[in-house]
Amino acid sequence: MLPVVVVHGGAGHVPKERAELSIAGMQEAARLGYAILKSGGTAMDAVVETVAMLENNPAFNAGRGSVLNLKGEVEMDALVMDGRTLACGAVSAVRRVANPIHLARLVMDKTSHVCLTAEGASQFARAMGIPEVPEESLITDYARKRWKDNLHKDANPVECQIGKMG
Amino acid sequence: TVGAVAVDVQGNIACATSTGGMINKMEGRVGDTPCIGCGGYADNQIGAVSPTGHGEAIMKIVLSRLILFHMEQGKSPKEASDMALAYMKERVSGLGGVVVVDPKGTWAARFSSQQMPWAAAQQEQLHYGMFHGE
């Protein structure tokens, strides 16, 4: 079997000045995933570590660099699935975790559930020994600028989402 | 949103997707990413998908599993992705993109949005792009 890894960095608009960063981040992540596969690592290890690298890269909207909600806060979602067993794990609306993808994998590996959300996901993270990080460490100047640009005093929370992609 | 799909030397397949969601989303809004079949799916017998785009549209058509349904019926990853993305655009006016692999290691990176940065590594070669046709 010829190993392969394919990554994406989101379907939203990438401003010209961030395009090079974005492509470089994609290349770096694909190289990491491929190195894991070439050294005999599993597909699960490859996708999780690749996505964790992208979460740590502020050029992308996940982990550090996440877009902000209406209140200017970070709420993140993540999912993993293992094609061998159909095991899967997910977290939603999780806060103050550097790598939600690692938490999603722990949901898959350590619980009988598929998805943990919000405060329950945070409690699970603490129980698993995942350190809580300051919310500020996940927020970039670029994310804050976009949040402010899209924040209107009288904005309808539904209408202001129209046309935007996650 | 970021995502990855992979096939290892044993022929096992996996997917992962992670996101901060949509800009200025309502507090508590959850999109497709943590929903199995929407924000990703992996089955050794068919393939794996990680999507990105309009989360609510992806959820309405269960995009990842829809692509794998097309692949189960004999479509290639590229054909299946294009069919499902076209359906999402037509039925729910949603745009997005996907990375897909099948058990043989055939891969695709397809999108209906203007852009989607992507990269693929196989047989010591790195492929990448951001715009249509790359």
Report pLDDT for A3: 98
Task: Grade residue A12 by pLDDT with cuts at 50, 70 and 90.
Answer: confident
Catalytic residue status for B17: no
Query: For B41-83, what is each residue's pLDDT tens digit?
Result: 999 999 999 999 999 999 999 999 999 999 999 999 999 999 9
pLDDT score of A162 more than 60: no
ipTM for the predicted complex comes to: 0.98
Q: pLDDT over 90 for what percent of chain A? A: 81
Searching chain B, which residue's CA lies closest to the CA of residue A145?
A: B23
Report A:114-143 residues touching B (Cβ under 8 A). Answer: 114-115, 117-118, 143
pLDDT score of A93 more than 90: yes
Residues B80, A108, A39, A30: is their CA dihedral positive or negative? positive
From chain A, pick out residues whose CB is under 8 angstroms from the CB of B22.
67, 161, 164-166
Query: For B80-114, what is each residue's pLDDT tens digit?
Result: 999 999 999 999 999 999 999 999 999 999 999 99
Return d(Cα A139, Cα A146) in angstroms, integer.
11
Q: Do B3 and A19 touch (CB under 8 A)?
A: no
Nearest by CB to B114, which of A13, A47, A68?
A: A13
Report pLDDT for A4: 98
Report pLDDT for B64: 98
H or E stretch including B4? strand B2-7
Report A:81-100 residues touching B (Cβ under 8 A). Answer: 81-84, 86, 88, 90-93, 100
Report pLDDT for A153: 60
More confident residue, A157 or B106: B106
pLDDT score of A70 more than 80: yes
Please report the DSSP string for A91-151 in residue order: EEEE-S-S-HHHHHHHHHHH-S-SEEEHHHHHHHHHHTTPPP--GGGG--HHHHHHHHHH-
pLDDT score of A92 more than 80: yes
Q: How far is A21 from chain B (nearest CA, A)?
A: 10
Work out the mean pLDDT of chain B and round it to a whole number.
97
Task: Grade residue A158 by pLDDT with cuts at 50, 70 and 90.
Answer: low
From chain B, pick out residues whose CB is under 8 angstroms from the CB of A162.
none
pLDDT score of A159 more than 70: no
Nearest by CB to A62, which of B18, B25, B121?
A: B18
Work out the mean pLDDT of chain A and round it to a whole number.
92
